[in-house]
Amino acid sequence: MTSQNGYHLASACSSEGATNLGYSFDEEANGDTKNNKGKEAAAKESVLPLRVESSNQLTELSGTTTKKEMKSKKKKKKAKSGSEDVDKLKSEMEMDDHKIPIEDLFSRLQTNAVTGLSERMAAERLLRDGPNSLSPPKDTPQIIKFLDKMFGGFAILLWIGAVLCFIAYGIQFSDDPKPAGDNLYLAIVLVVVVAVTGAFSYYQDYSSSKVMESFKNLIPQYALVIREEKQLTLLADQLVVGDLVEIKFGDRVPADLRIISAQSLKVDNSSLTGESEPQSRSSEFTHDNPLETKNIAFFSTNVIEGTARGVVIRTGENTVMGRIANLTSGLDTTSTTLSREMAHFVHIIVFIAVTVAAIFFIIALCFGYEALTAIGFLIGIIVANVPEGLLATVCVMLTLTAKRMARKNCLVKNLECVETLGSCSIICSDKTGTLTQNRMTVAHMWFDNTIFEADTSLTQDCCGFSRDSPSWIALSRVAMLCNRASFKPGQERTPVLQRECNGDASESALLKCVELSIGNVTQHRAAAPKVCEIPFNSTNKYQVSIHELDCDGEKRHLLVMKGAPERILERCSTIKMNGREVDLDEQMTEYFQKAYDDLGGLGERVLGFADLFLPSDRFPIGFKFDNEEVNFPLDGLSFAGLMSMIDPPRPNVPDAVLKCRCAGIRVIMVTGDHPITAKAIAKQVGIISEGNQTREDIAKARDVPVDQVNPWDATACVVHGSELKDLSSADIDDILSHHSEIVFARTSPQQKLIIVEGCQRLGNIVAVTGDGVNDSPALKKSDIGIAMGITGSDVSKQAANMILLDDNFASIVTGIEEGRLIFDNLKKTIAYTITHMVPEMVPFLLYIAISLPLALGTVTILFIDLGTDIIPAISLAYEKPENDIMQKPPRNMKTQKLVTDTLIGVAGGQYGVIEASAAVFTFFVMLGQQGFFPSETVQIRASWDDKSITNLEDSYGQEWTFAQRKCVEYSVYSAFFMSIVVCQWANLLACKTRRNSLVQQGMINHHLTVSLLLETALCLFLCYTPGLQEALKFYPFRWWYWICPMPFALLMMTYSEVRKVIAHRYPGGFVERELLF
């Protein structure tokens, strides 16, 4: 049927033919309405019960459809969403709903501009398309995440060690009904260690993946809908395509709308496009890009001002916000650099352990050991290679660093990301709120034919002009009176620039500027009451108000006007110059145009101001002004000047960008804002440094068209989003490779993601900063996403790995420094840990190879790994940087690994061998003192461990029972343990620095000093405390045995210092390349 207005109304819609209703994101730009009409006969008879808020009750429009059908529909929709191709979501949105005439759109959507949809049609579309909501993605169950923390990465090595210990204990039990419990104790301890650290890591990361819940918070709760010419308040998830919706100040837009009519409508698109200034909306088609045209209002954006009526063109996951939600949730989380490094370390340890164990398993078989015994040896060697305490040490070190970063306003959600930030080589930074202060501020004024720069600091104590200038007084008076912004009450003691205002950002900036300069704005306004006003609208592009003003003792009417400078100027006949009004001639117009172009070129929003004292004889006090049928002059005004506003850079951002540059980190601006504004801010903060030119700058300097300039001649470039969408991956890679300073402007969320992927393709570790919903896909895809804590949306915070509590870019530099420091300190910790693995493994090798009595028990190893060594290892987390770590480039991810061949060679092959030599020397000295000379000790193991031999002779002919031999063995355990501890003193000091001499670095790390004392105290406690002999097999020994390992410790220290001195003196030489890790 056809309505009285001639719009086609359909009683039913095809569930298939009108699925896209004339728009497509990727496949088609236009719908095939003919096919839709041809399929109308396929409409379903059953409709869904629709909730209409009338007396808060649900109204059944039809009883044939049940909730069960609705659930089935939801499941199908979820399945469809779950299988949607992420690559398709990355493509730019294509649609023409904002381009076609409104009559054609209503025909396409099969709705009516006056009556709206019928209830039956709305119910059918709801059944077909599903609710206007975002379907949650298929999330990984929490139990899977928990098991990943328990069994993933380094933890699996400890589990393997625990299983092998249980097997070894089983083998012992098969030979002896009462075996020693060493392997059992070790297995239990390993299980406890991995369980505790895994649970702790899971707890830390628990809240980092619930992105979709934040998107749900963006969904408006209710909407004012017109159906069958009735206004209904419905739950927003009941909206369908074709519904007529009314929105007003304070509302969230409930779906993507094509604006039919609007009255002073402004929306906040900052979370979607990055524009800090509220955007006006009207029925006018102004741009091919749907994100920039004025006749589209987007789902979940906030209405700042005015009212409007619109028609729903997309709902739920088909909205722009829905596409971002699906894109964000569909992306795989990038593994952290530390997790990759730890996996690399695990592979190395497993290779070494298995190789050594296999070799000695074969040796044991060759020496005639039984296969079961040889398997026991193999397991023992593998377990000896497992650094039981390293997982806990790394976890604690990362936690300490994360707490230190939190005190510096960097909140880390995932502990492993602490190191990732230090490895980053590119920062893709948003502009608004990160590089800038996220507050519009007056930056420049033009009056008396001079551009004055305003101070944009919080204090604004620097002023480049006289505040008593007649021209400035006139300009500030217009800015103060022709202004609807006001300060919120109760902020008298708050600094002016930090006060909250009622009103839009531009008028608030003008208000604060005048308050700082003139002061007492409220009193001035009270003295000049407003009697008439014409609000700003997109057609006139100006705002007018008339005030009663006391002028030289006479009450007069003052008309004040502000708006687009060119519109204001064309209504003026004079201009104020140095306290006088002069004719606005051609020369003055040229002065104005030059100032206007200069300020606009700085990326600032420029407003013009004018005033006019109305003649008292025609407009006496009490005159009835009419703002509808205007009965007062709007021409012949006096131009007062220009004021330009910008969201100014944060004061410490330029210094932070310079530090990043010195550290070899590129900072790329990626913003949804205008290219001119983005370029201006980039130059102010140093992203485009002084002297570097873009292609446009070179063309301007040469006075030639831009297309005649070779793009590769420019070191800097500004890429518009409209250009970016036509570029291939190779083109993007070329831009990123050939230009050192880059600004991407007017970018969509999909383009931000593509830029991040391009940087990663080139082998970079990418950090992304952002605060809006539009940043969330890039935040999640990046190696480390950084959200803003104050201005950031919940969505961006959930997608990010780190949150800046102060929204300050400079805090990122602090985080990078901490990340680089923790990488250095982790290398030192791993080197320290690997060293003692060698002397722990040597007793088992000697036990097999030359049949020596076992020099070190399994329980003793536990007390080294989880007792004496863990505190010193953790103390390295407090070590200060050796040099200025922000003066060297980011590490090469392929060559500068956390664990390298050089590190293993120095720690294990050099320090470890010295330490093992010290312990074995002590072992032989102690046995020799008891009567067992080295020559007699070799090949004595079988007799030593034989319980039936009660008269084993030593080198002096003394006989030893089995119990006496075990007392000596356990004393040897203690002495061997002590030797490792003494050498670990030297090892800790050697690992304290990687390149600096200990003299250069000093002993300012008091945590390390305390850890040395605690390590020694624990060793003394275990070796000399009565009662521990039977329980822990620690027997006391004479004090002079402490001297045995000390020469070796001194050798280790001397070797370390000489090595570092030579490397420092001959940089790039053999010692630095091969002997420094």
Give the least confident one: 179-188, 214-223, 800-809, 918-927. 214-223
Question: pLDDT at position 63, please?
Answer: 36
Question: pLDDT at position 138, please?
Answer: 62
pLDDT range class, residue 68, cuts 50, 70, 90: very low
Question: pLDDT at position 136, please?
Answer: 63
Residue with tokens 């994100």: 291
Per-residue pLDDT, averaged over 598-624, amounts to: 91
Question: pLDDT at position 208, please?
Answer: 42
Higher-confidence residue of 165 and 487: namely 487
Question: pLDDT at position 81, please?
Answer: 43
984, 835 contact by CB (below 8 A) = yes
Question: pLDDT at position 382, please?
Answer: 73
Residue 682 pLDDT greater than 50, yes or no = yes
pLDDT in tens, 988-1004: 999 999 888 888 888 88
Highest mean pLDDT among 90-104, 602-616, 772-786, 790-804: 602-616
Per-residue pLDDT, averaged over 911-938, amounts to: 93
Classify each residue of 322-332 as buried b or exposed e, where b means 16 or more C-beta atoms within 10 Å of its C-beta.
bbbbbbbbbbe
Question: pLDDT at position 776, please?
Answer: 84
% pLDDT > 70, the chain: 86
pLDDT range class, residue 463, cuts 50, 70, 90: low
* Catalytic residue set: 430
Reduce the DSSP state of residue 710 to 3 states and report it.
coil
Q: How distant, in Å, are the alpha carbons of 344, 862, 872, 875 from that of 869?
A: 23, 10, 6, 10
* CA–CA distance, 57 with 51 (Å, rounded to integer): 8
Question: pLDDT at position 988, please?
Answer: 94
Per-residue pLDDT, averaged over 915-925, amounts to: 95
Per-residue pLDDT, averaged over 223-251, amounts to: 91
Question: pLDDT at position 44, please?
Answer: 33
pLDDT range class, residue 1062, cuts 50, 70, 90: very high
Residue 803 pLDDT greater than 90, yes or no = no
pTM: 0.74
pLDDT in tens, 553-605: 788 999 999 999 999 999 999 999 988 999 999 999 999 999 998 998 888 88
% pLDDT > 90, the chain: 34
Question: pLDDT at position 7, please?
Answer: 32
* CA–CA distance, 543 with 534 (Å, rounded to integer): 6
Give the least confident one: 37-46, 650-659, 739-748. 37-46
Q: Which residues pair with 921 in a beta bridge?
A: none
* CA–CA distance, 820 with 799 (Å, rounded to integer): 23
Residue 964 pLDDT greater than 80, yes or no = yes
Q: Closest Cα partner for 657 from 893, 816, 881, 441?
A: 816
Residue 276 pLDDT greater than 70, yes or no = no
CA atoms within 13 A on the CB side of 2: 4
pLDDT in tens, 635-652: 999 999 999 998 888 888
Q: Residue 491 has what DSSP assignment?
A: -
Per-residue pLDDT, averaged over 1050-1059, amounts to: 93
* The amino acid at 760: Q
pLDDT range class, residue 461, cuts 50, 70, 90: low
Q: How distant, in Å, are the alpha carbons of 194, 370, 519 from that of 365?
A: 33, 7, 95
444, 453 contact by CB (below 8 A) = yes
Per-residue pLDDT, averaged over 846-852, amounts to: 86
Reduce the DSSP state of residue 313 to 3 states and report it.
strand
pLDDT range class, residue 933, cuts 50, 70, 90: very high
Classify each residue of 376-405 as buried b or exposed e, where b means 16 or more C-beta atoms within 10 Å of its C-beta.
bbbbbbbbbbbbbbbbbbbbbbbbbbbebb
Question: pLDDT at position 210, please?
Answer: 46
Question: pLDDT at position 161, please?
Answer: 76
pLDDT range class, residue 976, cuts 50, 70, 90: very high
pLDDT in tens, 18-57: 333 333 333 333 333 333 433 333 333 333 333 333 333 3
Residue 156 pLDDT greater than 90, yes or no = no
pLDDT in tens, 1019-1038: 999 888 887 777 677 888 89
pLDDT range class, residue 457, cuts 50, 70, 90: low
Residue 67 pLDDT greater than 50, yes or no = no
Reduce the DSSP state of residue 660 to 3 states and report it.
helix
CA angle 348, 353, 359 (to 5 degrees): 125
Question: pLDDT at position 33, please?
Answer: 37
Most distant CA pair in the chain: distance in Å? 135
Per-residue pLDDT, averaged over 715-724, amounts to: 89
pLDDT in tens, 138-154: 666 778 878 887 887 66
* CA–CA distance, 268 with 305 (Å, rounded to integer): 9
Mean pLDDT rounded to a whole number for the chain: 82
777, 750 contact by CB (below 8 A) = yes
pLDDT range class, residue 219, cuts 50, 70, 90: low
pLDDT in tens, 374-412: 777 777 777 777 777 777 788 888 888 888 888 888 888
* CA–CA distance, 855 with 971 (Å, rounded to integer): 9
Residue 983 pLDDT greater than 80, yes or no = yes
Per-residue pLDDT, averaged over 250-260, amounts to: 91
- Ramachandran quadrant class, 1007 (left: phi over 0; alpha: psi -120 to 50; beta: rest): alpha
Question: pLDDT at position 75, please?
Answer: 45
Question: pLDDT at position 70, please?
Answer: 44
Residues 6+ apart with CB under 8 A from 1070: none
Higher-confidence residue of 154 and 1072: namely 1072
Question: pLDDT at position 426, please?
Answer: 95
249, 303 contact by CB (below 8 A) = yes
